[in-house]
Amino acid sequence: MKYDRTQAVENAKEVFWQLGFQGSKMRDLQLRMNMRPGSIYAGFGSKEGLFKEALTQYVQEFQLAIQEFVDSSDSPLQGLKRFFESQIIDGDDFSKKPLCLLVKTVTELEESQPELAHYAQCGLQSIAETFSECLNQCKECGELRTDANPARLAKWLQMQLMGLRLYAKNKPQRQEVLDMIDDIFSHLN
């Protein structure tokens, strides 16, 4: 049976994101991917192989989204801010926005599956590098101080995003979250 690999990985990613790696049973993956176990193993080698591919796809989509917001904005900094808003605020009930798949993976698998946790940590580092590249653009445009360290600010920005996503689970008022995003970006320049 032929299948669309990208769509199959996307479907698997949704299962892993919802249930976690350990909570995702082969039957869950089989149903969501509309594939038989033999086809999954033939295509991805193992549940771990499929999970790594799902994480890789997540990172690539995340990086592409950052770059699209930056490229479609009047300034790189405004693009980053719009990206933040898109990641935190989603409709009326943004408490339903899922936590970062990479962060969930690190916390779930740090002790039981350190290799997969490390793989997720590498994904977080790749995303930090994308933030750093965008912050370098900000610096070149004069949106950051001349002595700003884009690599360090990228990690700080990533930490802020992780924290805000978790904070949004407390169901704060929309304006409160927007104000927090304003505060984060006011500290950058």
Does the pLDDT value for residue 1 go beyond 60?
A: no
pLDDT of res. 92: 63
97 pLDDT band, cuts 50/70/90, is confident
| Full-model pTM | 0.92
* pLDDT (average), residues 169-182: 89
pLDDT tens for 6-41 read 999 999 999 999 999 999 999 999 999 999 999 999
With the CA atoms of 55, 110, 133 and 94 taken in that order, what torsion angle do they form, in degrees rounded to the nearest 10? 70
Domains of the chain: 51-186 (1.10.357.10)
Residues 50-90 pLDDT 10s = 999 999 999 999 999 999 999 999 999 999 999 999 998 86
The mean per-residue pLDDT over the stretch 97-102 comes to 86
Angle at 73 between CA 150 and CA 61, to 5 degrees: 70
In this predicted model, what pLDDT tens digit does every residue of 107-117 receive, in sequence order?
A: 999 999 999 99
Q: What does the pLDDT read at residue 111?
A: 94
> Distance between CA atoms of 104 and 20, rounded to whole angstroms?
8
- pLDDT tens, 137-148? 999 999 999 999
